[in-house]
Structure formats: C-alpha cells, structure tokens
Copies of this chain bind each other. A is one copy, B any other.
Amino acid sequence: MSLDIVRELRQLMAQQQVDALIIPTSDTHKSEYIVDYWKIREWLTGFSGSAGTAVITNQNADLWTDSRYFVQAKNELKEPFKLFKLKTRGHEYIDWLCKELKPGDRIGINPELFSLSEIKNFETKLSKRGISLKLQNDIFDSLWKNRPIPQTNQIYTHSIEFNDLSRIDKINKVKSYLIETNADQILVSALDDIAWLLNLRGSDVNYNPVFRSFVLIQPNTTVLFVDQEKLNSDLKNELINNGILIKDYQLIDKYLSEISNNSTIEIDGNSANYKLINSMPAGIKIIESASMVGKLKAIKTDAEISHYKNAQIRDGVAMCNFLHWLEDSVSKDFITEVDAAMKSEEFRSVQNNYMQLSFETISAYAENAALPHYSCNNENPVLLKTEGLYLIDSGAQYTDGTTDITRTIALGKVTNEEITNFTLVLKGHIRVATAKFPYGTKGFHIDTLARLDLWQQGKDFGHGTGHGIGYFLNVHEGPQGFSQSQNGSAASILEPGMLITNEPGIYVEGKHGIRIENVLVCKEDLKTEMGQFLSFDTLSYCPIDKNLIAVKLLNNLEIDWVNNYHNEVYELISPHVSEKLLEWLKAKTSPLDRSN
C-alpha cells in the first residue's frame, strides 16, 4: 500500500513543484498524544511509535525516529520506507535535507502541524542553502481512504472539589497578566492548558484527558473554540454564564484573521501552529513565549498537593497489590508480560477516582527492559521466569491526580551486576530525592546528581531524569524537567509546587533494564544568608526491592533515606490493604540490614 501512496505523493509533488515532503507526528496543537485523524505518519509508514517523521524526496522515503524506537521501527516499517536513526530527538532531517536538496528546491509542509519556532528554525537553515518551504493544505484527505474522523466525546467538568480556583478565577489571573504585560490578547493552544484553565476534561485521545479546542482571551472576551457537540446543554449554559463565548473549532482561523491589526497577541511558541499565526492580520504584533497558562498550571497549590497525595496513596495500594500478586503467581502460573500489565491495570481500576491509565504500561522482563520504551504484546508473548529482573513503568489518571511510577524487582536469582547496577541507580535516585538547592536552580543542574555515581563506574543512561506531571492531566507536562539538555524543559527554573518525576535508570543491551521512578513535589526548604533553598518531597508510595540493594554500596544517609521512605510507605499504605498483603508490606518495608 505504502509503495502506491508514495508514488501518488511523488506525482502530487511534481504537480505542486515540490521536491520533498515532511510528514511529522503532530496534530494542530503539537500534542504528544494525537487523535487518530492526524496519525498520517503511522498510516503512511506502518510505524506505530509515538515519535517519528517521514521525509519523502524523489529518491528517498525515510522515517526518522530516535533510539527508543529503532527496533520497533525496523519491524514495522513498510516498503519503501527506510529507517533513519536520529541522534537526538531534534530536527536532524532538516540538516539532511539541506545537504540532499539543491538551491531553488522547495519542501512541502502542512503549516497546521508545525510551530512557529519549528518553521523559523527550518527557514534559518534552509535559506542558507537557497531552499524554501512551500506551505500546503492537508494533502492526505483524498489519499487516505477511510481516514478516521475526529471523535466527539463529551466534555465534562473537573470538580471544583479538586480545584483551588474556579475557571473564572483562572481566566481573571490570565487577564491581569495581560494588563501587566500590555498584551491585548492571548491565544491558549495547548490542550492541557485549556483543560486546566476551564476546569474541564475530555477524552479525545488516549491517556490524556483533554479535548480539541482553542481559547482566545481578550480583556473583555474569552472565546472557546470547540466542537459544540461535545458540550451538553447544562455545561454550555454554565460556560456562557461564566462569560465564555463558544464558537466552532473550525472558526479559529477566521476569528484570528479578524482581530485588530494594531493589537498584540501572546502565543505559546510550542503549541500554536503556524497556520494560526499565518491567519493573523499582517500588522499584528506576536509575542512568542513559553505558555504562561502552562506556567500557572505547573504550580500546584497546597490543597491540590494534598489531594494529589491521596491519589498517590491509592496508586501505591494498587502497586503493592500488583507486586504481591506477581511475586506470588510467577512461580505458580504462566504469566506473560501482557498478563502482568493487565493485572496492574486491574488493581488500579478498582481504586476510587480511577478514570483510565495515564500512558501505555511498560511491562518488560529481563533484556526487554533494556529498551526504555518497550511495548509488550500478545503476538510475541514473553513469559516471566523466577529469575532476573522485571520492570514495570505505569500510571493512572485519577480525578485527584495523575501518577507515573516505575519499579524494577527481582523475580528470583539475580546477578551481581544486576544488584550493583540497581544500587547505583538507587544512589542517583536518592541524590535527587534528598537534594537541597538554591532558588534559581534549573533541571539540568539537578540532572547531574542522578548520574554521578553511575558515571564514576563508566555507566550512564540515555534519557532525561524526569518530567513534569499533571494533576489529572497529561503525564508529561511542562515547563519543568530534569535532563542534560540546556534547551527545553530542563532549562526551566524549579519552583515550589511543581511536580516532577525522578527516574534514573540503566540499560544493558541483551541483559536487563533498571529504572526507579517516583514523583517529587518541589517545596521551600531552609532560608539562609545565601537565599531561599528548595528541596523535594517524594509522593509515590511503593516499596523499592531490597533484594536488589547492595547495602555496602550505600552510605549512612542513603540507608536512612531507604528506611525512612519504606517507613512512610508502610504508614500510608498499610491502612488500606488486606491482612495477607499487610504481612508482605511489612517485610518489604522493614529496615535494611546494615551488616550486609
């Protein structure tokens, strides 16, 4: 099929005098999880991973993706697509196109699927080579038979019980910001920003409780652009009573084209697509910045953190039930990776306030866990044995919080290498969890803490140490993050009230993968003559497998941390478990033996 489509695309390219096409994985909001309607790249190439870009020239048809997906892409790609391995998760294909194409050539792109900053970056590089971009409308509608249509699932209210601020409060906060910064209006384009702003949730995509929409806030008007079928009449009336104007999703371009030519508009450079920007009058002044709604959203209030902790306790109860079941069953039954993933979902689904998983569970045995984003499936069932390591990275959406936790456990006999590696990862985890740091510290400063004990042994891991996480919202949330990169989320200053994961790991190809992940909340710590210091509280509650800890590699502070953490896990989880599980929990959370 792909061969035919690529042939048709090349005919179209010839007609439109275009020498290359870039087909990204994106929707009109630059979302991480996209609706089926926009899964063009997957349909075209066969590769179903969450990240990748197809690039078609007259000679080549390539799929560019990063190391998380090399194996999967190789298995799934359909003729004539070839895999191009990205060194970073960047836009290396533009550099490739700069070399491959010749001056005067044109590259076709759909501006709905790229941000302003992407287009600027492309144009800077391409212009040096005399290559230009040709903005095209979506050319796939006619080519893609049976293209899915956007869903019209109902939008619902996120209860005020879990929100410190009403949607009117939140909108007013944004309005005061507009007054402060002399901006006339702000376009809110990231779907989770909109959900947060309006205290609404939806189910247009998997895992992320968001709905397709835009919001434009002007001093006297707030307009929500949304498929109106998704709003029942009560909710519609409520929004109208809140002073919100409701318009069809498709009308955003037209509306933007009619705003005052002499006004200023603030946009979120990461999520506003270029077509929207192109719709605006030529004289408008665009202030491109990181989402200011996203910044407000990232700071959780004390009340929200207290709700969030409840969600984490229930998630911990589910995890304990799951790990107990697994340890018990693995020696008695045939358990596959998929069985385990399903069972963990089952234990979560019976918890109060449970809505859905927050991402696809990573359930990986032995060498499979060496792929940090391994996806298990029934076509290739993998049986868990009573030896080696098992890794589960999973989480859920509760109405009072989004969770994401990784545990790596011994299913039986393990090697010394596995124990050493686990302990080194744990040391990094503890360094981050116990860090104090001055206000102004950024994610890339903290990231080093997770690695330094690994580095001393010539080891490392190839992903960031952590990401922001939502409050009944996306499992990946900005602006904060821990990684080595000085561009992107790790360049954000850490602020009290931010939630962030702490997930160092190590991956030994063909052998094992280890990751230990908890959610942290950033908080104020001591204040000295050097200023305000910050630190973290750990908010995930599930035992860390003591069988994998080489106590002799830990110092006293690290041993204390493990014991205190397990003590807290016991205190918080024990009231909610059966007698049999209590016994397991007690053993799993008993103090480390310092003589080991």
A528 touches B458 (CB 8 A): yes
A437's nearest neighbour on chain B, judged by CB, is B455
What's the minimum C-beta distance from A70 to chain B, rounded to whole angstroms? 16
Report if A528-B452 is in contact (Cβ < 8 Å); known contacts: A444-B486, A484-B445, A491-B486. no
- Does A555 have its Cβ within 8 Å of any Cβ on chain B? yes
A456 contacts which chain B residues (CB < 8 A)? Answer: 434-436
A484 contacts which chain B residues (CB < 8 A)? Answer: 441-442, 445
What's the minimum C-beta distance from A439 to chain B, rounded to whole angstroms? 10
- Does A135 have its Cβ within 8 Å of any Cβ on chain B? no
Chain A positions 416 through 450: 1 when the CB is less than 8 Å from some CB of chain B, otherwise 0: 00000000000000010011111001101111110
User: Could you say which of B436, B446, B449 contacts A458, with CB atoms under 8 Å apart?
Assistant: B436
B555 touches A458 (CB 8 A): no
A435 contacts which chain B residues (CB < 8 A)? Answer: 452, 455-456
- Does A105 have its Cβ within 8 Å of any Cβ on chain B? no
- Does A587 have its Cβ within 8 Å of any Cβ on chain B? no
What's the minimum C-beta distance from A191 to chain B, rounded to whole angstroms? 29
Instruction: Kindly state the separation between the CA atoms of A491 and B491 in the bound complex, as whole angstroms.
Output: 13
Count of identical protomers in the assembly: 2
- Interface size class on chain A is 35 or more
A486 contacts which chain B residues (CB < 8 A)? Answer: 442, 444, 486, 491
Chain A residues 486-536 with CB under 8 Å of chain B are 486, 491, 508-509, 525-531, 533
B458 touches A533 (CB 8 A): yes
B445 touches A533 (CB 8 A): no
A531's nearest neighbour on chain B, judged by CB, is B460
A528 contacts which chain B residues (CB < 8 A)? Answer: 458-459
A555 contacts which chain B residues (CB < 8 A)? Answer: 555
A529 contacts which chain B residues (CB < 8 A)? Answer: 508-509
A526 contacts which chain B residues (CB < 8 A)? Answer: 458
A459's nearest neighbour on chain B, judged by CB, is B530
What's the minimum C-beta distance from A553 to chain B, rounded to whole angstroms? 12
Instruction: Kindly state the separation between the CA atoms of A531 and B491 in the bound complex, as whole angstroms.
Output: 26
Highest count of chain B CB atoms <10 Å: which of A452, A491, A531, A533 = A452
Instruction: Kindly state the separation between the CA atoms of A508 and B529 in the bound complex, as whole angstroms.
Output: 9
A459 contacts which chain B residues (CB < 8 A)? Answer: 528, 530
Which are the 3 A-B pairs with shortest beta-carbon distances?
Answer: A486-B486, A458-B528, A448-B448
Which A residues are within 8 Å of any B CB, using their own CB?
Answer: 431, 434-438, 441-442, 444-449, 452, 455-460, 484, 486, 491, 508-509, 525-531, 533, 555
List 19 additional contacts besides A437-B455, A444-B486, A460-B530; criterion CB under 8 Å: A431-B452, A434-B456, A435-B452, A436-B455, A438-B460, A442-B484, A442-B486, A444-B444, A444-B445, A445-B447, A448-B449, A449-B452, A458-B527, A459-B528, A460-B531, A486-B486, A508-B529, A509-B529, A555-B555
Could you show 21 A-B contacts with beta carbons less than 8 Å apart? Answer: A431-B452, A434-B456, A435-B452, A435-B456, A437-B455, A438-B455, A438-B460, A442-B484, A444-B444, A444-B445, A445-B484, A448-B448, A448-B449, A458-B525, A458-B526, A458-B527, A458-B530, A486-B486, A486-B491, A508-B529, A555-B555
